[in-house]
Amino acid sequence: MSPLAPTSEQELLIRARLLAGQSLGELAAQASRTVPQDLKRDKGWVGQLIEWHLGASAGSKPVPDFEHLGIELKTIPISHQGTPLESTFVCVAPLIGLHGLQWQQSHICHKLKKVLWVPVEGERDIPLAERCIGNPLLWTPSEIEEQQLRHDWEELMDLIVLGHIEQITARYGEVLQLRPKGMNGQALTDAYGPNGSRIRTRPRGFYLKKHFTQALLNAYFQTN
């Protein structure tokens, strides 16, 4: 028996707040799931457990978790100091068929319009079952944050369109970075190469850098 999907933004927020303070062990029991020893082979386990509790529409469709509410759910691993332990994956990056693609029409822009962040203790010295959920926050990019995201996105997409994807490293971008996102280094997909050629390359994903998510968490908890 899985929870129903929330019918409003307010209901979603209320339900997310009820998770705060609970441990992953407690939440797993309520969902009749077993807690893995570690996340080495279950990297998405925490995210999927929280999705279940909040009634997110499961599946691997490229749409927001709560499509009817236009809200994306992101769990974020937090250190003992309350800072993000990892960058945040947003979505895969399109590498071909990019003619005329603008920020406002991009998949990443839509996904980041409204995000429900759920902090979860993530230090490896805390047994998985004992890690607790933190207070959630519903975030919409400020004008400045959206400008930062759009600027990085445009720079990265320009390089991709010009066939320079192999020159892009995770160091590009102030707040948004492009990194491999695949089963392993052998996974390949099509991309633009030099001089209008077509090449095979590793699939890439857009990730939010730690300092960006840290800043938005700080801004929220500083005023709430």
Partner DNA sequence: GCGTGATCATGA
Partner DNA sequence: TCATGATCACGC
Q: Which stretch binds DNA (CB under 7 A): 6-14, 32-40, 140-148, 152-160?
A: 32-40
Nearest to 120 by CA among 3, 19, 10, 15: 19
At its nearest, how many Å lie between DNA and the CB of residue 74? Answer: 5
Q: Which lies closer to DNA via its Cβ, residue 23 or residue 177? A: 177
Q: Which stretch binds DNA (CB under 7 A): 3-11, 25-33, 153-161, 185-193?
A: 185-193
Q: Which of 40, 105, 125, 223 binds DNA (CB under 7 A)?
A: 40
Does 57 sit near DNA (CB under 7 A)? no
- Measured distance CA(14)–CA(109) in Å, rounded: 26
Neighbours of 89 (CB within 10 A): 15
Neighbours of 39 (CB within 10 A): 14
Task: Compute how many residues bind DNA; rule: CB under 7 A.
Answer: 55
CA 63 to chain centre: 12
- Measured distance CA(41)–CA(50) in Å, rounded: 18
Q: Which two tokens stand for residue 32?
A: 């009749």
At its nearest, how many Å lie between DNA and the CB of residue 154? Answer: 19
Q: DSSP 3-state assignment of 14?
A: helix
Does 53 sit near DNA (CB under 7 A)? no
Q: Which residues bind DNA (CB under 7 A)?
A: 38-44, 46-48, 50-51, 59-62, 65, 72-77, 85-87, 89, 91-92, 107, 111, 120, 122, 124, 169-171, 177, 179-190, 202-203, 205, 209-210
